Amino acid sequence: MSENSEGTGNTGDAGDQHQQDQAPKSYTQDDYNALDAKLRKEYSAKFNAMKKKADAWDQYEQSKKTEEQKAAYEYQKLKAEHDALKGSVELEKARIKSGRKHNIPEADWDRLRGSTPEEVEQDAKEWAKERGLDKVGGRTPPGNANPARNPFNQAFLDATGRGGR
């Protein structure tokens, strides 16, 4: 038993010294920067090589296509672009129509949202309702604004002889 305890004691001392020899290495910012630069350079070179291969493949694919296939592809691409522009014009028309319908100031028409004319219309309704524009004649001015009782208006009416209504 004493042999085992002595053997364990010796092994413990050797283990402690081994752990001290294997202390974690600390890295400086320069070490990280150098490693980062090295990895960026490697990945950049790999990316460029893959990009060249992809471009070469695209050229090969294009060379195999006939003129009709190229024209059909170009037509599909232009048609998709046309449809997207047509959709955006329709949405802009819906914004204008809904803005006018709900008495929304022209400067605020671009705030109306939606991906379909129906959604734009619904947004315009909600927008106008939140701001009190959904009532006939638009929004009531703040305060007790009666233009007939305005001193300037009353003086003008008196001066023109129409003040005694």
pLDDT band for position 146 (50/70/90)? low
Chain centre distance of CA 122: 23
- Overall residue count recorded for the chain in this entry: 165
Rounded to 10°, the helix 117-130/67-101 angle is 30
For 62-73, write each residue's pLDDT tens digit.
888 788 888 888
CA torsion sign for 58, 60, 64, 68 is positive
- pLDDT of residue 104 exceeding 90, the answer is no
In the chain, where are the structural domains located? Answer: 67-136
Rounded Cα distance between 23 and 95, Å, is 69
Model-level pTM?
Answer: 0.40
pLDDT band for position 107 (50/70/90)? confident
96, 98, 103, 108: CA torsion to nearest 10:
-50
133, 134, 136, 139: CA torsion to nearest 10:
-20
Exposed, middle or buried: residue 125 (CB in 10 Å: 0-12, 13-18, 19+)? middle
Provide the pLDDT for residue 2.
47
